[in-house]
Structure 1
């Protein structure tokens, strides 16, 4: 059997988390390819970083991946992406990579259909899966232009690109992943700025679900090569990131179970024949007690380590089925000690956070949830993916200490505690609706 050589595209915390998961599971040194050296991967002793300044260019990244493959001709090569646009790049260039690499993602047509928020919304409507009321605005084509009909919505509303991969390619002043739009005039101005930036996809304008960050949920499912869901991990998001570039990404998660949500996701995934990992963003709607599905990410998400931290190292599924050709029975993949239901749902409770504990708990306004987070931390059932005992370089440790201190400044600037309290007790919704 050849040795395993993972290659991870991306330089964010999701990419580092994937590299750490591979290192923990198999003792290997993943190659991480990103546009530049970031503090998250710099001075790491568990990975080898490769800078590719033209990572946005398919020709450049294919050439770079083939160059890396030549350096590891004796290995089984597996390549994964830490963002939707990177996964899309891999899928669209699969025919130029699969002679060297295993690319563990769905085929291109299905990828585009379900990662487009409009297409995902249509599928939810077809299957009776809860999804926000949505208006679609076209920036190109026969139906482009004009004012979107928002008569069925009440301001404020959420506005965001239908395709995060296509949106990645444009820049404009004030760009965010998701916009909270207070009025019709503000929406008109936003859409004009997006159009002027050259974005030619679609924007979705959605109902604004009441509640703060703690109303958000996350679900990750793994489907086998036959399209059957075999594993799932559900989590309660306690707090999200609030800097413009990372808005909506979970900063704290407690794993738990929610079988009805898993059943809905299973129905959706098996209906289309999805394979591999799918990551869903959801929110609890207090108006009717439903969990509302927002979107599907075709990969392990940015906060993927919430699964590994709870005892279920997710990257083992890639290796077990895609590389070794074995049946991905969760018990066989994850081992006998992982808390799993008979249907493959992760049952262990664990706190995942990228923040200092006191900062996270400061923003968790529900006393019972705050106590739960504190209890898990005291029982050492809490994990920050960046703090890893195998990382012993003092320069990295110094960087992480400063970065954790900087989290206090970032939250004070971008999400003052008074704003969090307003959204929790009076306001209509969280900007985490992505």
Structure 2
């Protein structure tokens, strides 16, 4: 029984992967289930608790759930940064009830935070953008890089709980005045953590890449997959997330994947890891961050033949060697395909993706085959709302 920590589109992708690989339904455990799980037949139950961020509540809820299913092998999967850190802290209390892959808290803190990740990359000769951490309320310093500047929260779990108009995952400031407005808005919205100010790496959406990896219990990294971003999401709240990804065996950057696998192995990581990156005009990869779990768009791996659930089950349930991923060309998308077609900046890549989609190798993330009429109605209403937001924001 997969127990998925979270309530968003990442959870839906994981539940879909488990169902397609093993025919099992998942249980979502979260503070509040988001619309991405609405009316789904894949997520059988959503266990919601408003105080789930408290470790005592977290362990009590999960222990109770496992005790209610003594006939099941309960597999616990974090689908959000904060839950990974919480699982790392509560691992001893949950180990008798669940099987899970999660590193120790200090390793999560080292690799799974933006500042720690930059230090680890530097030690491994991997490039990250120049960055400055700005504490909440601190005056804007002299930056060692020019404008525009990327601004994003250093503490993703704390920022996730904030709600305010104009909230985005990532901001682009073209001037000091714009940056001051962003900092004021996030502070007024309740975010008290540091903001990470980063050097902007120029280039279109198609210069972006995403990598997912699974690190086995023996420390090896047998499963790692790269996707080519076609488009970032176009809605205000979706900026910084991916709207469409092309996956092709020939476009796997072997040198990069080898370096990332070495980084994870030498750092002692366990379980899923997700990297966001961008290639410079000279072809050098620049790593933005590592998410300490599979990424929100990670179902692109399953769509390309590398089912996300299999390495975890093979490693922890079957206790066997993890099967190496064998990829097939595919295109994954969560934005309406019309939006992808209209806004993808590389028409050559778009043509390849469109050809795959016509041949049945395209997958829309949030509508799995076999979903009922309520889910299908929700999905098409969502597609229409997406278009309206795109037009409203130019």
Q: TM-score under structure 2 normalisation? A: 0.92
Q: Unaligned stretches of 5+ in structure 2?
A: none
Query: How many Å separate the matches in 2 of 1:155 and 1:125?
Result: 23
State whether structure 2 residue 314 is matched by structure 1 residue 320: yes
Show the counterpart of 2:277: 282
State whether structure 2 residue 257 is matched by structure 1 residue 262: yes
Show the counterpart of 1:180: 172
CA 1:65–1:408 in structure 2 vs 1: closer, same or farther (change >3 Å)? same
Query: How many Å separate the matches in 1 of 2:125 and 2:219?
Result: 20
CA 1:204–1:319 in structure 2 vs 1: closer, same or farther (change >3 Å)? same
Show the counterpart of 2:103: 106
- Residue in structure 1 matching 2:215, options 201, 219, 223: 223
| TM-superposed deviation, 1:365 | 2.8
Q: SS where residue 131 of structure 1 aligns?
A: coil
- Residue in structure 1 matching 2:241, options 243, 249, 258: 249
Q: SS where residue 72 of structure 1 aligns?
A: coil
Question: Are 1:156 and 1:180, in contact at CA under 8 Å, matched by a contact in 2?
Answer: yes
Query: How many Å separate the matches in 1 of 2:45 and 2:131?
Result: 41
Query: How many Å separate the matches in 1 of 2:32 and 2:159?
Result: 20
Query: How many Å separate the matches in 1 of 2:168 and 2:68?
Result: 38
Show the counterpart of 1:50: 46
Show the counterpart of 1:205: 197
Show the counterpart of 1:271: 266
Show the counterpart of 2:286: 292
Show the counterpart of 2:391: 412
CA 1:278–1:70 in structure 2 vs 1: closer, same or farther (change >3 Å)? same
Deviations 1:200-241 (A, max 9, x none): 543221111112322211011222223222121111111112
Show the counterpart of 2:15: 19
Q: How does 1:80-99 map to 2 (within 5 A)?
A: 80-99=77-96
Root-mean-square deviation over aligned CA pairs? 2.1
| TM-superposed deviation, 1:327 | 2.2
Query: How many Å separate the matches in 2 of 1:166 and 1:384?
Result: 30
Show the counterpart of 1:375: 355
| TM-superposed deviation, 1:77 | 0.6
CA 1:111–1:362 in structure 2 vs 1: closer, same or farther (change >3 Å)? same
State whether structure 2 residue 342 is matched by structure 1 residue 362: yes
Give the total of aligned pairs.
390
Query: How many Å separate the matches in 2 of 1:299 and 1:110?
Result: 13
| TM-superposed deviation, 1:264 | 2.4
